[in-house]
Structure 1
Amino acid sequence: ACAAIGALCSAPLIVGGHSYGGRQASMLVAEQPGLAGGLLLSSYPLHPPGKPERLRTEHLGAIAVPTVVVHGRTDPFASSEEIAAAVALINAPTRIVTVAAPHALNPARTEVAALAADAVDEVILRR
């Protein structure tokens, strides 16, 4: 199979997801450290909207793979400051990509896809 896809076989497996899917991916990587070589989280739901005291950070310290977090500046699930503090708990290289968008990230109206791809290339693939 590697002959058919060439260079992709040497690239690390990157897991991730948007919102709750990203939370699930982060929990999986925290529980199974050897599963992936990188983590991509978009609009991580750090806490329920309006309830910053209910942080979902207990597993972040167990993440040991390079991680890119894409965050919308007006996301009600986390402020930019809250995301920065949470990402600092991760025990690996990280990058936060912040765009002027809500939780949905508005990919048709922002450069979020290109910014996320560049961050993944720099933080995860070039290691």
Structure 2
Amino acid sequence: MFPLTETPAPTRDDPAEGLAKVHRLATELAARMRYAQIVERPLPSEQVEALVQAARLLQEKGEPWPQLVGEVLKQVADDLADEAAPKEPEPEGGRIVAGLNRFLGAFRREAKAPSGA
């Protein structure tokens, strides 16, 4: 038969490791979105929403956003501000855009405030 071995007890994820993963994934998503902005392709609302959720999580944990995430979110906020009204919003797009506008509005106000760092 097989020898009995002691299985290690499951360990809990390290919160710092989890936040590092959020930083990495948010940066990768922001890089894809930046490329789409450069080649003037529309940003899928799912990507915008995912990046905003990652930014919110980092903000709630008191973590600074990766620089590229801030740059992409600022561009998204500027683009939304430039649009008078969407021509044909997606079925739930109106709700997403309204929530995104509120979040990014707060982000823009924070970005304009002088930082102590």
TM-score, scaled to structure 1 = 0.28
Structure number with larger C-alpha Rg: 2
Q: 1 or 2, which has the higher strand percentage? A: 1
Q: 1 or 2, which has the higher helix percentage? A: 2
Name the structure, 1 or 2, with higher relative contact order (CA <8 Å, separation 6+): 2
TM-score, scaled to structure 2 = 0.30
